[in-house]
Amino acid sequence: MERIPLAERMRPQTLDEVIGQSHLLDQGEILRQIVRKKEPVSLILWGPPGSGKTTLARIIAKEVSAEFVELSAVTSGKKDVERVVEHARQNWNLKLRTILFVDEIHRFNKAQQDAFLPHVESGLITLIGATTENPSFEVISPLLSRSRVLVLQPLAKEEIISILQRALKDLKKTKQATPKALDYIAELSGGDARIALGNLELALSMGEKLTPDIVRVAAGKRVPGYDKKGEMHYNVISAFIKSMRGSNVDATLYYLARMIDAGEDPKFIARRMIIFASEDIGLAGNGALQLALNAFQAVERVGMPESNYILFHVATALAKSKKSRATSDAMYQATALAKQFPDSPVPLHLRNAPTRLMKDLGYGKDYKREADFKHNKGFLPDDLGTVQIFKDE
């Protein structure tokens, strides 16, 4: 007899059993409305692995009394789609709805996605696509315009723990796991319920009592001294930034590796590098900001683990770059002056003069619209004096 994995056995069968995604499942939200009205619409479910995309698609099909047909874009082709369409026509003649669920829809090319269009438009099939990639880039525009894009979030640590506790109750093993063990499984899961349940199942098979040490062996990882919301999180990102600022490439890459190994959000790291590029490199390397921006977009589109190359590449480049805080220092000084002199009148010669009266009063006097024109009365309000905000290094 084939053994069904715990993650599959614990898959929710109704919306009320789903943990997480409250922004889609609370009363009045879109998925509740679809189920209540029994009127399915084509959807693109965009979210990380283990966030419930397949589960929600199956529940919707069940609740609206539609036949659920599942394809994986990894193993299916255009002919598979055509077979589904033909089957949907048979269902149509029998007055049955067909929901086609396409897992990893972003892996279908344009021609394969085009094959859905006329049948989605006619209502022959209701398409639910699941993707871990940004659908704006990976799903063709005509298909997007005919679908609602719903964003699923990674499950919070507390939600993962609730799922684990439910599984233990179902297995009648609630007393076999310590709270610390469940906390550790949740921490290792990265918001992925499937990974969490898989680690729980393996760990339970390895000992009478579930402890962090048993979990460590089952998951093949040590317990990291790193909590993405705790002090270590801030200490390591601080060391990462300071290492880049000090142009120490070795330390930069070490702290980057620690964050990635602990499951830190790669987009968080990329965002901090964007800030660093302006704050600490600035005018010393004007290309640094664009490089960091490109890194964030690439991480967002490529995903992990391939984004490791991008993060290590850009962190190395930023660490090796020349540094300048001229613009950062100028920003702080300009902000302080603006607070000290919040109501200083703009000099008359810098004001626009759209009327004759304003010109007669001296608005815009002797100002010329020429590149690099320097007025003999300067540009700052008189009460600021001859202050210098920006200082070339």
For residue range 99-155, list pLDDT tens digits in order. Answer: 999 998 988 888 888 888 899 999 999 999 999 888 887 889 999 999 999 999 989
| Domain at 231-320, CATH class | mainly alpha
Residue 88 has pLDDT above 70, yes or no: yes
Pick the CATH number of 21-151 from 3.40.50.300, 3.40.50.620, 3.80.30.20, 3.40.1260.10: 3.40.50.300
Let me know how long the chain is: 393
Mean pLDDT in residue range 231-260: 90
Give backbone dihedrals phi and psi of 160, rounded to 5 degrees, phi first. Answer: -60, -45
- Residue 227 confidence (pLDDT): 56
Residue with tokens 């609206």: 64
| Domain at 157-219, CATH class | mainly alpha
The answer to whether the Cα torsion of 246, 252, 258, 261 is positive or negative is positive
For residue range 28-82, list pLDDT tens digits in order. Answer: 899 999 999 998 999 999 988 889 999 999 999 999 999 999 998 878 877 888 8
Q: Using omega within 30 degrees of 0 as the cis cutoff, is the peptide bond preceding 48 cis?
A: no
Quote the strand ranges of 54-103, DSSP E: 66-72, 97-103
**How many angstroms separate the CA atoms of 181 and 171, rounded?**
17
For residue range 271-317, list pLDDT tens digits in order. Answer: 999 999 999 999 888 899 999 999 999 998 888 888 999 999 999 99
Residue 222 has pLDDT above 60, yes or no: no
- Strands 43-46 and 66-72 turn out to be unpaired
- Residue 81 confidence (pLDDT): 84
- Residue 20 confidence (pLDDT): 94
- Residue 92 confidence (pLDDT): 94
- Residue 348 confidence (pLDDT): 83
- Residue 42 confidence (pLDDT): 95
Better-predicted residue by pLDDT, 195 or 229:
195
Residue 85 has pLDDT above 80, yes or no: yes
Nearest to 164 by CA among 192, 197, 136: 197
- Residue 1 confidence (pLDDT): 38
- Residue 322 confidence (pLDDT): 93
Residue 390 has pLDDT above 80, yes or no: no
Q: Which residues pair with 149 in a beta bridge?
A: 44
Mean pLDDT in residue range 155-183: 92
Amino acid identity of residue 306, one-letter, is: E
For residue range 334-372, list pLDDT tens digits in order. Answer: 888 888 888 888 888 878 888 888 888 888 888 888 788
The residues spanned by each domain of the chain are 21-151, 157-219, 231-320, 334-384
State the pLDDT confidence band at 228, using cuts at 50, 70 and 90.
low
Q: If DSSP codes are grouped into helix, strand and coil, which group holds residue 147? A: coil
- Residue 44 confidence (pLDDT): 95
Q: Does an H or E element contain 296, and which?
A: helix 287-302
Mean pLDDT of all residues in the chain? 88
- Residue 256 confidence (pLDDT): 95
Q: What angle do CA 215, 219, 225 make, to 5 degrees?
A: 70
Residue 226 has pLDDT above 60, yes or no: no
Residue 210 has pLDDT above 90, yes or no: no
**How many angstroms separate the CA atoms of 362 and 376, rounded?**
15
Better-predicted residue by pLDDT, 220 or 237:
237
Mean pLDDT in residue range 324-341: 88
